[in-house]
Amino acid sequence: MTTTTHHPGAIESPERRHFFGWLTGGALAVYAASTAALSFLFLRPRVTYGPPTRVPIGKPEAFASGNQVVFPEAKLVVRRQDSRFAAISTVCTHLGCIVNPSDTGFDCPCHGSTYDDRGQVTGGPAPRGLAWYRIVQLPNGELVVDKHDVVEADTFLELRA
């Protein structure tokens, strides 16, 4: 071994040097990763400013049986047949354009997807049918459509009396 000059406070043993090197590197790596993760969390929105996902649509009495009411801002239609209510999305499942109600169902003006009355795809590039949303009735009688709760087609809210 070559002679080593002694410096006060100098780390002499290579193992200790490696250890502290790894420690520093590890700590910095963890710091870097954490910073990245925290930045990611910062950027990920926790509240959004767009239209609400739980859409109040009014009292059941406001809907006539056999009719379809369009809610343009909420991008859905609400139907009533006697005591059954349904809410269907009007956002085309292809690329998000708004579909127009038609005689036979719905038509999308962007790429020509067509849907039947129940929102099932009858033509065009849409990969799946229009989403049906769950409707719930609040204690005060109002109906609310929950756009985050997608249900199977033909799922209705049945109101008793």
- Asked if 80 touches other proteins (CB under 8 A), the answer is no
- Asked if 103 touches other proteins (CB under 8 A), the answer is yes
Q: What DSSP string runs through 2-48?
A: ------TT----HHHHHHHHHHHHHHHHHHHHHHHHHHHHHHS-SS-
Provide the CB-side half-sphere exposure for 150 (13 A, CA): 6
Smallest distance from other proteins to CB 27, Å? 26
- Asked if 52 touches other proteins (CB under 8 A), the answer is no
Count the residues of the shown chain that bind other proteins, applying the rule CB under 8 A. Answer: 36
Residues 6+ apart with CB under 8 A from 27: none
H runs (alpha helix) in the chain:
14-43
6/46 with CB nearer other proteins: 46
Which residues contribute to the site for other proteins (CB under 8 A)?
43-45, 48-51, 53, 64-65, 67, 72-73, 75, 81-82, 94-98, 103-105, 107-112, 116-117, 122, 124-125, 127
